[in-house]
Amino acid sequence: MIYSMTEIESRYQETDQMGVIYHGNYPTWFEVARTDYISKLGFSYKEMEDSGVISPVTDLDIKYIQSITYPEKVKVKTWVEKYSRLRSLYRYEIYNEVGELATTGSTVLTCIRKDNFKPIRLDKYFPEWHEVYQSVERRNKAGETLEVTNGL
């Protein structure tokens, strides 16, 4: 898979009464890691939004395997599992400080116009993103493994 690794320091404010990272913080960690992945591929949500397109999460799935506590540092592995011109399925694996799998999840995002909320085709509005995402999906299906750090 073509993936990125993002390190996140847990913060005290993210814990619940038991000292465990509160479950509602994981979608934020997914977003931080997804934004980092997109940046490492060479793209920017800001540029997309500046052109009048937004990309909301339309589906979220989280599986909690073991607790993460403050002040652990975690690593989030992120990749595009499935891509079409209308939506992207991102997968996540969160590893605790000793490298054990703690959480898995996924999000589906759809690109829409900010002014009317109608879906757009990525290949028409952002052909560079489309080309790279097609390449990522193709390489993933071929079984290639590569950590993206600064472009493909």
pLDDT tens profile 38-88: 999 999 999 999 999 999 999 999 999 999 999 999 999 999 999 999 999
151: pLDDT confidence band, cut at 50, 70 and 90?
confident
What was the pLDDT predicted at 93?
98
CATH, domain 2-147, list 3.30.390.10, 3.10.129.10, 3.40.228.10, 3.30.43.10:
3.10.129.10
Query: Which ranges in the chain belong to alpha helices (H)?
Result: 26-41, 45-50, 122-125, 127-141
Residue 107's alpha-carbon distances to 68, 71, 92, 111, 144, in angstroms, are 21, 26, 8, 13, 22
Of the candidates 137, 123, 89, the residue with the CA atom closest to the CA atom of residue 109? 89
Of the candidates 109, 138, 141, the residue with the CA atom closest to the CA atom of residue 37? 109
Percent of residues, the chain, with pLDDT higher than 90: 94
What was the pLDDT predicted at 144?
94
The DSSP symbol for 142 reads: T
Torsion over CA: 76, 100, 74, 26 (sign): positive
For 106, the 3-state DSSP assignment is: strand
pTM here is: 0.94
In the set 16, 50, 59, 123, the catalytic residue is 16
Is 59 considered catalytic here? no
